[in-house]
Each structure stands twice: as C-alpha cells, then as structure tokens.
Amino acid sequence: MSDNKCISVDNQQLGLNTLQPGIKFDGRKRQGHPGSVLAIAWSPDGKTLFSSGYEKIAKRWDIETGTCLYSWEADSNRVWAVAVSPDTQYVATGGDDSLVRLWDIHTGVCLRTFSGHTSQVLSILFTANGDRMISSSSDRNIKIWNVVTGDCLATLQNHLNWVWSLNLSHDAQTLLSGSWDETINCWDITTGQCRQTFRPVRPYEGMIITEVMGLTEAEVGTLKALGALKVN
C-alpha cells in the first residue's frame, strides 16, 4: 500500500490518513467504533472498507468520504474477523460465538450461518472465485466451507493452539496458517494434508526426557513445548 493510504487503528478510531486532504474516518461514538478495532477488510472494488470490533459491531465505510455507511451487530460479543467476497456481494464475519455469518453487502441481511467451530472464529478468507470460504478458530481447527450450500467441506487439524491467521496462494492450492503454537503450517487445499510445518528452533529440540526423574506434569509439558521428547 502506498504511503498516502496508510491505515492506522487504535482503540477508539479507524483512520484512513491522507487518502484525501482532510478526510479521515470519524472516531466519534456516533460513527466510529467505541472500542478496539479487531479486523479490517477492503472490498475488491476498492470503494468501501469493512471493520469489526470489540463490541459486537461491524461497519461499512465509504472510502471517498470517510462516512460510515451503516453498522450492524455481527456477533453476540467480539467480532474478530471480517472478509469480503471477490465479487463484492457478500461480507463474512466471525467472532466469539463460534459462528461464521455471511451477509448481503447491499441489504445487510444475514444470508447464511456456518456452524462447526467450537470456539472463537479468528480469521476468515474467500477463495479467488468466491465459491469457498476458509475460517480458523481458537479451537485449533481450520474449516473449508461451501459458500452456496453452507456445508463444511473439510476440517484441517495440525495446530496445537489458537489459529490466528490465514493466507491463500493465488492459485488457491496452498493455504498458510499461523498459530499461537509458534508454527506456520502449509496445507494442500485439495487433499487437506499438511505439506510442511515451519517452526523456530526450540531450546530443547530433540532432548529425550523419558528417564528424567522428579519432573511434574506441568514441567514435562513445558519441556515438550520447548522441543523435548518423551519416548514411550
């Protein structure tokens, strides 16, 4: 993004700085988010911006004027994720209630609810042709959805902690996921298999602690998280 389209976000205001002289999204309570802004997504046509926050609310903004076009309650609590379909017809949101919701951008109507995660939905993206949607959650799972039918096509499982971020290759064949378990997983979208896991070298990588005496269960768990192995 060029320097004259720098987005700044703090706990009261979503600002689009110097897009045009004097234009900035209003941070006042009547128009802006009253609490933390958790997610932002451009519409593919570049005309509008969507944001979601800590207080159930998602918003649609007009890029040229900085006006909040409308707001709506997108979750029962925090709205962690927002994504816009490639044809700019739909916006998807996900939050604390573990559901992914698909909204009609023009009418604001909730068209479909995707149920399957068991905890917060943290990230959402659409495939390039818009027929599938991918979500990740604090339940450690990633799900691939059929946008038209609402069916869950696959559940990807390999992370050991919350899955915070997703990124899809341009050919929609490879998915990257990032987690609190300090790993990035590389997935084959067609097969649902994890091709590769990227992780930093841990301080006790490969250390065998099978016969080490006197360790508590918590200490064993910590050592294993740092790379130690307990072989049966």
Tell me: the pLDDT tens digits for 135-172? 999 999 999 999 999 999 999 999 989 999 999 998 88
For residue 89, the domain's CATH number is 2.130.10.10
pLDDT number for residue 232: 63
Q: Is the domain of 78 the same as that of 173?
A: yes
Strands (E), 85-162: 90-95, 100-104, 110-114, 121-126, 132-137, 141-146, 152-157
Does 190 share its domain with 209? no
Could you say which residues of the chain have pLDDT below 70?
1-30, 231-232
Alpha carbon distance 224, 130 (integer Å): 40
Task: Determine the pLDDT at residue 155.
Answer: 96
In angstroms, how far is the first alpha carbon of the chain from the final one? 52
Angle CA(192)–CA(193)–CA(194) in degrees, nearest 5? 125
**pLDDT given at position 231:** 67
For 185, list phi and psi in degrees, rounded to 5: -100, 140
Residue 72 sits in the same domain as residue 133: yes
Residues 150 and 210 placed together within one structural domain of the fold: no
Q: Quick one: pLDDT at residue 34?
A: 82
- Ramachandran angles phi, psi of 224, nearest 5°: -65, -40
**Whether residue 184 is found in the same domain as residue 230:** no
Residues 231, 118 share a domain: no
Q: 90 and 106 in one domain?
A: yes
Note the pLDDT of residue 90. 95
**pLDDT value of residue 37:** 92
Q: Are residues 162 and 49 in the same domain?
A: yes
* Pair 59, 146 in one domain: yes
Same domain, 183 and 208: no
Q: 96: domain range?
A: 3-200
CA 92 to chain centre: 11
| Same domain for 221 and 168 | no
